[in-house]
Each structure stands twice: as C-alpha cells, then as structure tokens.
Amino acid sequence: MKLIRGGALFGGLLAVAAAADAGVSSTWTVVSDYDFRGITQSAQDPAVQGSLDYAHDSGFYAGLWGSSVDFGPGDPNLELDLFTGFGKSLDSGLNYDVGATWYTYPSESSLNYVELYAGLGFEAASGLSIKGKLFFSPDWGGSSTPGSPSAQYISADLDYPLPRNFSLSVHAGYSFGDFWDDLEETADGAPYFDYAIGVGYSAGKFDLGLRWIDGSDLKESDGTPGDIFSSESRVIFSVATTFPWGE
C-alpha cells in the first residue's frame, strides 16, 4: 500500500514536469531501503521516491522531493521535503552550494524541521568529483523533541567515472550536536559516523546503483522491532530515471 500511494503521488509530479518549461525535471527512484545518513527510514523495506526540480542558469534552484517511509505503527508513511538554494561552478573546477531544506511529514507535523547547508567541491577534467558539505538544523526532529535541540552533519563525497558506463562513489559522514549529545545520555553510540561505497551503472535512460552502507551503530535503535531506524550494515540497490527523457 505504501508503494502504491507513493506512486500515485509522484505520478502527479511527473505530469507537472512533462508539461513544464525547460529547467524543470523530475527524477524517480525505487530503492531496496531508504537510507538517511546511515539510518533506515523505511525499516529496511523498499521505498518509492520522486522529485520535481527547477534549476535556473543563474544558479538558483528549488524543488520538492518525497519518499515513502516507515517509522513504525501509527507513524508517518510519507515524507515530503521542500528545498531551495544557489549553486555555481567556476572555471577553475571549484563549485559551491548553499541552501535550505524543510523536511515535512504530512500526517505528523510535529516532526517537521528545517535544515541549512553549505558545500564546497571540485570537479577535475577527468570527471573526478569531490564535495564537502556542512548541515545545520536549529530544531532537529521538530517540536516532537523536547528542548528543540540543534544538530549538525558533515559529509564528504567522492565520485569517479569508470569505463563502460560504470562509476564509483565513496561517502563518509558524521552526525553531532546537542540532539546527539542528549541522546548519548540515555544510549551509548551518539554522535556517530556513517560511510558507504557504491558502484553505479548507466543503462540507457536508467541509472542503477549498488551501495554498501555501514558506520558506528546508533545504539538507540539497536534491536528495535521491525528494524525501525536501524543503523546496521546493509547493501542497498536502486534504479532511477530522470524526465524529460532526451534523445
């Protein structure tokens, strides 16, 4: 049922994108597990994800991204994120990106929160891409978290094209801040690291991905029923395509 409802929602996004002007695209993804910074958001079950993106030549961009989620019985089964920002690539190969994302859960607004981010990267002529990014939320987890604690996340990503339409990706991230410090008072294991290594393959209009994800376990969610918010190591498979399709 979650996949069907998600597909119906993102079908509407696709219809809008198909009728939109240049600069608008829509990306659809099916994943074997929705991972967010090393923590499953779908109880290690498959998820349907979709986006509606607008990008201007000036560097301004904005969009809507959504995914089916599983936070346990009676909790939200849909996440919708609104984002906007400004990014630019320089002739030297350097690029930067600043923006904000508003994470929302339509059936449980107390979980909504905003996050700001700033990133710096470099892309070489060989196609090698290296990016670093810092995220900050003044109220991680929304009003559902007592005291409205802040949280930060720092990430580093490397992408490199390989022969025959393959690519390699490496990711490392670190979650820290008041939210994770408060969590550590009741459960050992926060703040925590997450990391991943993956291989991608472009097959015509579809992008296939296979990633291995691991890190320091978030002890708070160890052994939760149904793998809710589990941070154990796992392999995730994804299939994605972006509209409109070119020639």
Give DSSP secondary structure letters for the chain. -HHHHHHHHHHHHHHHHHTSPTTEEEEEEEESS-EETTEESSTTS-EEEEEEEEE-TTSEEEEEEEEE---STTS--EEEEEEEEEEEE-TTSEEEEEEEEEEE-TT-GGG-EEEEEEEEEEE-TTS-EEEEEEEEETTTTGGGSTT---EEEEEEEEEEE-STTEEEEEEEEEEESHHHHHHHTTSS--SEEEEEEEEEEEETTEEEEEEEEEES--GGGTT-GGGTT----EEEEEEEEEES---
Q: State pTM to two decimals.
A: 0.88
- In terms of residue numbers, what domain contains 219? 2-243
pLDDT tens-digit map of 229-238? 888 899 999 9
Higher pLDDT, 122 or 215: 122
pLDDT tens-digit map of 199-238? 999 999 999 999 999 988 776 666 667 789 888 899 999 9
The per-residue pLDDT for 101 is 98
CATH number at residue 142: 2.40.160.40
Question: How many domains, in total, are found in the chain?
Answer: 1
pLDDT over 90 at 47, yes or no = yes
